[in-house]
Amino acid sequence: MGNKNMTTPKPNKLRSVTLLLLAGLALVLQGCPKGGSSNSGEQDPEDPEGSFRAGVELVTEGRESGKIDYERAFTQFSTACDIGEEFDKPHARGCYNAALASSKLGRYDAAIDLYRRALSADSGFTAAVQNLTVALLSAGKAMDSLPIYESYLKANPKDADMINNYAGALGEAGRYDEAVEVIQKLLFDNPEDTRAQKTLARIYFLAERYRMSQMASANALRIDEKDADIHNNLGLTWLKEDNEEAAVLEFKKALELEPENLEANMNLGLIAVKAADYQLAAKSFQKVLTQYPGQIEALIGMGIAYRGILEMDSAIEQYDKILGIQKCQETALLNKGIVQHLFQKKYKDARKTYATLKSCNEANSDVEQWLARVDADITEEERVAAELAEMERQLKELEEKAKKKAVELKAQIARAERVFLKYKEVSQDPSWAEVLISQLEASQFAIESEDFFFMEEQGQYLDEFMLEYYRYALVDEEGKSLVDQEEWTSGAEIEIPEPEVTAEGEAAPAADETAAGDGQAASGAEAPAEQAPAEQAPAEGPSSNEDSGNSDGGEQSN
């Protein structure tokens, strides 16, 4: 786990070794020349200086207010650059400042182009050369930076700083042999140049020639044997070779040189943090705290180490110790807030910590960003909580609806069964009964699932099936409907007529009471069986009873 978002102590002796050689080149806005006039009155549309001055004023105002509007500044500076080229009044500073504003806005390709235009207007513009090469290196275009260095050094062959940077750029471009040759020439002119020795060590480090890097550091030590930075550099080289023991030895040597040097002790801890070795980091920071129990930077380092090993409460304790010494110690407040915010997810506690930091230093622009982030997280947390509460409410509501739907579906099942019972004597395909059984089983399964939507869907399927039953099963020989579908769609109770029962002791009907209509008597016992035309197949013609009525009278039953 890295230390992303955490603020760490910044001992210069470590940073001078680990940072890129060119990082020290400042990107500084070029202001108005001394004695320049103020930007008053109407601006000459053909004068780039007016737009340039307007841009400088915007930057100056932004610095005073704590927020520079780089977009507007870019517009003014790029206008100065464009006007200068259009009217043959080259304005190198306008192009340069437009490039810088463009870099601030993240438009790196545009920045590179504008730096080139600045140099086209003034080939001796050293700051533009430096920033252009830095921009190219930052964009991963080290090879493109080399011709610029070479052109500059052709005109300024004695500029030791640019020679040193050129060698570093060669190293970043992978041209290690040439880089070594350039830096060695510089060292030939000035063998005591410690910075050049460190650059040489860096080039060898990039080339993965770690032993040579160590040798360059050793040469630097011969120049200044008390330089703790060089031992730190050696330690980093050993770490690259996975020789942690040797690395720690170098860090210890640095401490031997300056046993009370805070940076030397902190370096060991910071290297361990960078390597995610939080146990080693804690040990290193504790060495400082043993001698200086109130040493704030060591307490901050311990807080980071505890956070790295996921002991968040212990990390908070370290920051609280610092705040007990200095209630407005900004790094401790910020790191404490970050632990509460990002790792413990205690958003409201984190907001209180950030608010304390803001009250301690109103000018701290970083805290505004953290406050905005934690406010957004609080809002999101509340939104999620509200959504969960709404989901719980909906689930309860759905449970109630499911209970009601189960009752409705059970009633629907019962009605379907009664319909089939009522019309069982109607001639129909047996498959209708089979499908009914399937529908009833599916409906029962839906009820047991207690899923409202499942039951609702199955209820619709059952309803559609029953309508099909009325439409296609309950029909006569000609396919005409025997029963109105409204019986089902009305939702009314399905009534089944009671079967007629002959009273006990009642005499059989007399011959003249028969309903045959042809004067022929029929046996009372046989009549029900012979009067079931619905059970006869349509293709078989007249019923058996009709046949009996047309037969010889001597064949009647007594």
For 266-315, what is the HEC assignment?
A: HHHHHHHHHCCCHHHHHHHHHHHHHHCCCCHHHHHHHHHHHHHCCCHHHH
Sign of CA dihedral 134, 138, 139, 144: positive
Range(s) of the domain holding residue 482:
408-489
pTM of the model: 0.41
Report yes or no on 554 lying in a domain.
no
Report yes or no on 375 lying in a domain.
no
Report yes or no on 210 lying in a domain.
no
Q: Residues 488-500: pLDDT tens digits?
A: 999 999 988 887 6
Q: Is residue 465's pLDDT more than 60?
A: yes
- Nearest CA to 118 out of 84, 71, 152, 161 is that of 84
- Tokens representing 171? 């190293």
Our CA dihedral for 107, 108, 114, 116, rounded to 10 degrees, sits at -170
How far apart CA 267 and CA 250 sit, in angstroms, is 11
Place of tokens 């009250």: 359
The counts of H helices and E strands in the chain are: 25, 0
Q: What would the mean pLDDT of 502-522 be, rounded to a whole number?
A: 46
Tell me, what's the pLDDT at 287? 76
How far apart CA 77 and CA 88 sit, in angstroms, is 16
- Tokens representing 334? 């910020």
| pLDDT band at residue 457 using 50, 70 and 90 as cut-offs | very high
How far apart CA 118 and CA 124 sit, in angstroms, is 10
> How wide is the angle at C-alpha 491 spanned by C-alphas 488 and 493, nearest 5°?
90
| pLDDT band at residue 8 using 50, 70 and 90 as cut-offs | low
Q: Residues 296-354: pLDDT tens digits?
A: 778 888 999 999 999 999 999 999 988 987 889 998 999 999 999 999 999 999 999 99
Which DSSP string corresponds to 315-346? Answer: HHHHHHHHHHH-TT-HHHHHHHHHIIIIIS--
How far apart CA 52 and CA 32 sit, in angstroms, is 8
Q: Taking a C-beta distance cutoff of 8 angstroms, is the pair 524, 509 a contact?
A: yes
What is the three-class DSSP state of 100?
helix
How far apart CA 509 and CA 47 sit, in angstroms, is 129
CB atoms within 10 A of CB 502: 9
Distances (CA, A) of 404 to 63, 396, 399, 400, 453: 69, 13, 9, 6, 12
Report yes or no on 267 lying in a domain.
no
Sign of CA dihedral 254, 255, 257, 260: positive
Q: Residues 354-403: pLDDT tens digits?
A: 999 999 988 888 899 999 999 999 999 999 999 999 999 999 999 999 99
Report yes or no on 190 lying in a domain.
no
- H/E stretch holding 380 reads helix 365-422
Count of domains in the chain? 1
| pLDDT band at residue 234 using 50, 70 and 90 as cut-offs | confident
Report yes or no on 420 lying in a domain.
yes
How far apart CA 242 and CA 428 sit, in angstroms, is 88
- Nearest CA to 530 out of 513, 515, 545, 517 is that of 545
Q: Residues 20-54: pLDDT tens digits?
A: 222 222 333 444 443 343 344 455 667 788 889 99
How far apart CA 118 and CA 125 sit, in angstroms, is 8
Our CA dihedral for 235, 237, 240, 241, rounded to 10 degrees, sits at -90
Q: Which of 469-483, 495-509, 514-528 has the highest mean pLDDT?
A: 469-483
Report yes or no on 439 lying in a domain.
yes
Tell me, what's the pLDDT at 365? 82
- Nearest CA to 472 out of 461, 487, 482, 458 is that of 482
455 alpha carbon, distance to own chain's centre:
38
- Nearest CA to 234 out of 215, 206, 260 is that of 215
Report yes or no on 44 lying in a domain.
no
How far apart CA 385 and CA 382 sit, in angstroms, is 5
> How wide is the angle at C-alpha 449 spanned by C-alphas 446 and 452, nearest 5°?
70
Which residue type is seen at 512? D
Which residue type is seen at 127? A
Q: Residues 235-251: pLDDT tens digits?
A: 778 878 888 778 778 88
Q: Pick the residue with more confidence: 117 or 134?
A: 117
Sign of CA dihedral 42, 48, 50, 55: positive
Q: Taking a C-beta distance cutoff of 8 angstroms, is the pair 322, 293 a contact?
A: no
Q: Is residue 450's pLDDT more than 80?
A: yes
How far apart CA 284 and CA 254 sit, in angstroms, is 13
| pLDDT band at residue 532 using 50, 70 and 90 as cut-offs | very low
